[in-house]
Amino acid sequence: MRPLRYSINVTLDGCCHHEAGLPPDEESMRYWTAEMERADALLFGRVTYQMMESAWRKPATGSWPDWMDEWQVPFAEAIDRAKKYVVSSTLSAVDWNAELLRGDLGTAVERLKQEPGEGLWVGGVTLPLALADLGLIDEYELVVQPVLAGHGPTLLSGLRERIRLEPVDRRELRSGAVAQRYRPAHAPA
């Protein structure tokens, strides 16, 4: 069974809006590239899928845009080529190496987890909340930014039940951000 990893940047006060933290730097992009390459497929809700596609899909020209620094290209290539599953009740079709995930969310994601491989990666805000409520997330990976946003969507806001986590890994980045990985703690027998 392949694990489902939820990965996201978050500010110190819990804001998970993609523009609230520090701008990406070379070290953080290398970190996220390596994490994305650990996944067999990416799982997105509609909003995250469209946001990522608009930023990271390789243009039809075959050349990356001028705004992209050379150190961003490995991340762009990793996400561009990745298999993607999109959960949406409003989209009728997707492309960019993606397919729509239809039907019951829990059943569909359990089916994906049963397939052989290294793991699935989910990002965003709304879809991970639903997956956490269903108990389907096997690992939480947060890159905590040394920023207080003071506003914006907060991480897993509205979670139905508390989920106790145990630390798996921790890495400090030169920017002051801290990458932390956790797994749900199992109740003592």
Query: How far, in Å, CA of 22 to CA of 9, rounded?
Result: 9
Q: Cα 59 vs. chain centroid, distance in angstroms?
A: 22
Query: How far, in Å, CA of 119 to CA of 107, rounded?
Result: 17
Query: How far, in Å, CA of 42 to CA of 2, rounded?
Result: 13
pTM here is 0.91
Mean pLDDT of 70-92: 94
Asked whether residue 187 carries a pLDDT value surpassing 70, the answer given is no
Please provide the distance, in angstroms rounded to a whole number, between the alpha carbons at the two ends of the chain.
23
Which of 122, 115, 83, 110 is closest to 99 using CA atoms? 83
Task: Place 188 in a pLDDT band, splitting at 50, 70 and 90.
Answer: low
| pLDDT of amino acid 162 | 93
Give tens-digit pLDDT for 4-55: 999 999 999 999 988 888 888 999 999 999 998 889 999 999 999 999 999 9
Which of 19, 79, 87, 82 is closest to 54 using CA atoms? 79
| pLDDT of amino acid 189 | 45
Residue type, 106: G
Query: How far, in Å, CA of 139 to CA of 4, rounded?
Result: 7
